[in-house]
Amino acid sequence: MASLICGSIAYDTIMNFEGKFADQILPEQIHILNVAFLVPTMRREFGGCAGNIAYNLSLLGGDPIIMATVGGDATPYLNHLEQLKIDASHIRQIDNAFTAQAMITTDQTNNQITAFHPGAMSESHLNQVAAVVAERDTNTKDPVKFGIVAPDGRQGMWEHCHQLADANIPFIFDPGQGLPMFDGPELLELVDIASYLAVNDYEGEMLSQRTGLSLAKVAERVKALIVTKGAEGTDVYVGGKVIAIPPVPASKVVDPTGCGDAFRGGLLFGLENGMDWETTGRLASLMGSIKITHQGPQNHQLSKDEIAAQFKAAFNFSF
């Protein structure tokens, strides 16, 4: 079963600040904020929501298809995806633009400050869901049975949600850091055509403020609303109730970058395979926990069997 991953492909430049942001920012001087952080370590990683989600779904044995836009500097990333045998045939390269770039600084308490240049991502609306569906049918590949719309260019997110709905492909709307680009009525329109909605707790609060609806009311408009809460686990709003999914304690906390995307890779795999929410949520939680023990969004290299063994050790049953 193939899943269409609509979202960003980006290079992540990740830096570590050895102090705490809270100790460097004076609240009473926030109106004239001027701070600099010494970052002794810096590295460049393959990232972006679509790339990260596809990577994690692939680890589980899924069949992700990435639909994204990249710049003229994307050859190393495209080679990386080819080595992973992830379908990158629907990634559009725009030579006169940069691939999206995220500059991420993490402090010692895992708070993050990110600067993001969208680059070619702003042209994501040039890609069409119908073209992917037709290509898979023409080449007798597994058809697209599921989708996710993750943070991307605003117009691309809007159009891809509608295109998936028009194609009768169930999908997760995952607005993430793109949520502020939409007002309340626009968010509700996208929620109403989505099958599932995934946000973290901060985004959930913003969603409630913009729409004027409680999370419970928003959940009534989709098959399920998934709200991640970091180390506190996850709440799944489904069928008029809330299922609390426990966190999986990490053996060590190295880098939170990409943990939400790892969670969504597990979420997609569970939904694709008809797992119940207790199992799906736990698998997604485990994927986030595995990711946080590694630097960068795509450097954890476990096999499906190794993931399955960790799942059984954590929950005492198999997925």
State how beta strands 196-200 and 10-16 pair: unpaired
* CATH number, domain with residue 220: 3.40.1190.20
Give the model's pLDDT for residue 30: 82
Distance, in Å, from the CA atom of 213 to the CA atom of 185, rounded to the nearest integer, reads: 11
CB of 144 closer than 8 Å to CB of 87: no
Mean residue pLDDT across the chain: 95
Question: Which residues of the chain, if any, have pLDDT below 70?
Answer: none
Give the model's pLDDT for residue 32: 87
Q: 80 burial class (0-12, 13-18, 19+ CB within 10 angstroms)? A: middle
The boundaries of the domain holding residue 239 are 2-22+41-315
Q: For 214-244, what is each residue's pLDDT tens digit?
A: 999 999 999 999 999 999 999 999 999 999 9
Q: What tokens appear for 257 in the block?
A: 């970058």
Give the model's pLDDT for residue 25: 86
Give the model's pLDDT for residue 26: 83
CA 124 to chain centre: 16
- Taking alpha carbons only, the member of 277, 283, 244, 246 closest to residue 263 is 283
CB of 297 closer than 8 Å to CB of 47: yes
In a domain, 263, yes or no: yes
In a domain, 123, yes or no: yes
**Tokens 């430049």 label which residue?**
13
* Helix (H), strand (E) at residue 63: strand 63-71
Burial 53-79 (b: 16+ CB within 10 A, else e): bbbbbbbbebbbbbbbbbbebbeebee
In a domain, 34, yes or no: no
CB of 53 closer than 8 Å to CB of 268: yes
25 Cβ contact list (under 8 Å, min separation 6): 33, 35
In a domain, 35, yes or no: no
In a domain, 30, yes or no: no
In a domain, 12, yes or no: yes
In a domain, 161, yes or no: yes
Give the model's pLDDT for residue 114: 87
Q: For 23-71, what is each residue's pLDDT tens digit?
A: 988 888 888 888 899 999 999 999 999 999 999 999 999 999 999 999 9
Strand partners, 15: 42, 105
Give the model's pLDDT for residue 137: 85
In a domain, 29, yes or no: no
> What's the domain count of the chain?
1
